[in-house]
Structure 1
Amino acid sequence: MRIVITGASGNVGTALLRRLAAAGSAHDLVGVVRRLPEPVGPYESVHWHSLDVAGADAADRLRPIVAGADAVVHLAWGFQPTRNTDYLSRVGVGGTAAILDAAHAESVGHLLHMSSVGTYAAGRYGCRVDESWSTSGIASSPYSRDKSAAEAVLDRYEHAHRGTGVAITRMRPGFIVQRGAASGQMRYFLPGYVPMSVITHLPVLPLDRRLCIPLVHADDVADAFARALDRGAAGAFNLAAEPPVSRDDVADALGAKAVHLPSAVLGRLVDLSWRARLQPIDRGWLDMAFSVPLLDCGRARTELGWQPRWSAAEALRDVLGGVADGAHTVSPPLRRRSPVEQLRRSVTVGAKTVRHLP
């Protein structure tokens, strides 16, 4: 198969490249990213194209790239800059529309879209939902709003073409982690002046005791994508490991003492510190963590034969081990995180919450 993958050097993209290589298949892989990775390791046997899917001409530039492809895997998404949500929407929602337009114009048979548990509406926190649950998102979370809006783009396309256009798969995983993404994820979510190893030395974890979130390892998400590619499976699929992660699970993995801090209080602190530019994530992330439902993954098990190899606890320990060790890859999104480099970039090109390249 000829497979085009947007965001192929990121968290899930890296895992998917590993998964496809491990399968021993002679796929022709094409990667679309903003910043080209070094062609080593999982990034070696890929034909790379540099392109920002947020660009006004993205659909036109994508057409020759996806021409002749059997499938397109759309993983590209933005997490920063949180103070420029217009740009993040152009990446997430506009990028989804652009890749869909290009795939349709070039008669690509299959589009696999990276959605998220964040696309789901609130109302069933701590309870499981299947893929029929509302995808209206969490209003206070820009990330969730964009995931919901991106799915609405797919909805309109499917309604307009009624089975005659590109077959669409929507993967809706829980929070995705892996060791090799630790530096990249901490660069998005931790203040630049804080060494990431501090996370694993916290004596106390102040967090609401109600926390209960779906978590899944990137390797297992990649396996679901590979299975959907092999089967040509369309529709939506929830993906999560068991059991869901609680506050006490996080505290145990960190070796910290859990202390109850109501989510409303913590949310206010997150909001104030973000507005004061002391840390880079908006309150919407916390609101989402205490609003999204758990996931019923029966459809993925039945139709894809999917079963996660990593339990949620194992996945959590894997990424926290990566945080402790400063784990990274050579790709730009997952490169080594250095507080010195973060401070230098903040001075020379602006804070990560406003610049397009974290």
Structure 2
Amino acid sequence: MKVVVIGASGNLGSAAIRALTADGAARVVAVARRAPTGPRTNVHASVEWRTADVSTGNLEPVLEGADAVVHLAWKFQPTHRPEETWATNVVGTRRVLDAVARAGVPALVCASSVAAYSPAYHDDPVDEGWDTDGASPAAYCREKAYVERALDAFACDHPEVRLVRVRPAFVFQRSAASEQRRIFGGPLLRPAFVDRRRIPVVPVPAGLRFQAVHAGDVGRALAAAVTTDVSGAFNLAGPGVIGRDELGELLGARTVEVPPDLLRRSLDTAWHARLAPVPGSLLAAVMQLPLMSTARAELKLGWHPHHSAMEALEAVISGIPEKAGSDLPPLRP
């Protein structure tokens, strides 16, 4: 079975490759803007790497003969240049969809996100039928919601393609620690600052609660979606919900509740001054995200996460001060 993984060198892509090659049944073609190099890439020796940019490259030859495509390519940064993220995330996804149709690929698995969901003001877990209009004006949410519409149109136009979309919660793993520090913390958040021995107090916006999932568990869900005759959307989250108490326990620090609007405005000010890499609208999104039910993934995919939400977040928090990463270009320390 030939599986093409687009966006193969990032947080999700690296986990998908591990899962797809675990039993040796799949021949994986890994597509990324930059091919991996270095002594630790020998774990990917069975994978054929191809270089292509979804926003500009000729994708059809890469997909030729594929039994399934797993599309994971996404840019979170630069948040100050939304036209650049739009070119990859939205235009790039539409170009992948067009290439899949032209190449006659019978199955497509695409990564969406909990951020595609519309706001929820309750803690009742929602299923995959919850509206996907984005949780805030943040570019990340807007682009995820737009991709959902593109997938809806593709499903109508190409019923011959088995289409699966996964909507994971926040995805963490130890090897992505350095990348995620850069994405969400920027150059001012040095690895040593996340050393739990140096964190006496953590401000937490009132009402914060969110779900998380380990990248390895998402990788297994993606592999199951490739090999199982299913279609439609699947929520993915590890057991448990993370809030103020859980963050305090994880960081070994005292927590102080602060008004969310105050933090949002402060983050916006820092973002406009280019001192923070993410705008306040992203915090607003996190505060409004629904909690997700994963019952459909458990039933249809036979998916059961090996890690709790706390264990997923612990993997990245413990990895940041140790500069954890890999030789895959986006994940390098």
Which bracket does the TM-score occupy, shorter chain normalised?
over 0.9
Offset, 1:308: 0.5
**Cα deviation per residue 1:326-354 (whole Å; 9 max; x = unaligned)?**
11000110001xxxxxxxxxxxxxxxxxx
**Cα deviation per residue 1:199-256 (whole Å; 9 max; x = unaligned)?**
2332111111311101100000011111111113211000001111112211211111
In the alignment, which residue of structure 2 is the partner of 1:5? 5
In the alignment, which residue of structure 2 is the partner of 1:48? 49
Please give the alpha-carbon distance, in whole angstroms, between the structure 2 residues aligned to 1:10 and 1:48: 13
The reply to whether residue 304 of structure 1 matches residue 301 of structure 2 is yes
One-letter code of the match for 2:178? S
Offset, 1:26: 3.4
User: Aligned residues, how many?
Assistant: 329
CA contact (8 A) 1:53 1:91 kept: yes
In the alignment, which residue of structure 2 is the partner of 1:194? 189
SS of alignment partner, residue 290 of structure 1: helix
Please give the alpha-carbon distance, in whole angstroms, between the structure 2 residues aligned to 1:31 and 1:258: 42
CA contact (8 A) 1:14 1:42 kept: no
The reply to whether residue 167 of structure 1 matches residue 162 of structure 2 is yes
One-letter code of the match for 1:268? R
CA contact (8 A) 1:126 1:213 kept: no
The reply to whether residue 279 of structure 1 matches residue 280 of structure 2 is no
CA contact (8 A) 2:54 2:95 kept: yes
One-letter code of the match for 1:16? A
The reply to whether residue 28 of structure 1 matches residue 27 of structure 2 is yes
SS of alignment partner, residue 32 of structure 1: strand
One-letter code of the match for 2:261? A
Please give the alpha-carbon distance, in whole angstroms, between the structure 2 residues aligned to 1:15 and 1:175: 14
Please give the alpha-carbon distance, in whole angstroms, between the structure 1 residues aligned to 2:147 and 2:176: 24
In the alignment, which residue of structure 1 is the partner of 2:81? 84
Please give the alpha-carbon distance, in whole angstroms, between the structure 1 residues aligned to 2:242 and 2:212: 7
Please give the alpha-carbon distance, in whole angstroms, between the structure 2 residues aligned to 1:272 and 1:42: 43
**Cα deviation per residue 1:262-316 (whole Å; 9 max; x = unaligned)?**
1111000000000011111112221111011000111001000111010111112
Q: Percent identity?
A: 40
Offset, 1:43: 2.9
SS of alignment partner, residue 180 of structure 1: helix
Gaps of 5+ in 1: 337-358
1:261 to 243, 258, 263: 258
Please give the alpha-carbon distance, in whole angstroms, between the structure 2 residues aligned to 1:230 and 1:157: 21
SS of alignment partner, residue 276 of structure 2: coil
| TM-score using structure 2 length | 0.96
One-letter code of the match for 2:313? L
CA contact (8 A) 2:21 2:28 kept: no
In the alignment, which residue of structure 1 is the partner of 2:117? 120
In the alignment, which residue of structure 2 is the partner of 1:221? 218
Deviates more, 1:32-41 or 1:170-179: 32-41
**Cα deviation per residue 1:77-101 (whole Å; 9 max; x = unaligned)?**
0011101111111111111111111
SS of alignment partner, residue 163 of structure 2: strand
CA contact (8 A) 1:171 1:236 kept: yes
Distance 1:226 1:13, change over 3 A: same
Offset, 1:125: 4.5
Alignment of 1:84-103 (within 5 A): 84-103=81-100
One-letter code of the match for 1:144? C
One-letter code of the match for 1:195? R
Please give the alpha-carbon distance, in whole angstroms, between the structure 1 residues aligned to 2:11 and 2:122: 26
CA contact (8 A) 2:136 2:282 kept: no
SS of alignment partner, residue 111 of structure 1: strand
One-letter code of the match for 1:287? A
Offset, 1:320: 1.1
Please give the alpha-carbon distance, in whole angstroms, between the structure 1 residues aligned to 2:322 and 2:145: 35
Gaps of 5+ in 2: none
Distance 1:316 1:212, change over 3 A: same
SS of alignment partner, residue 136 of structure 1: coil
One-letter code of the match for 2:27? D
Please give the alpha-carbon distance, in whole angstroms, between the structure 2 residues aligned to 1:160 and 1:16: 27
Please give the alpha-carbon distance, in whole angstroms, between the structure 2 residues aligned to 1:170 and 1:105: 20
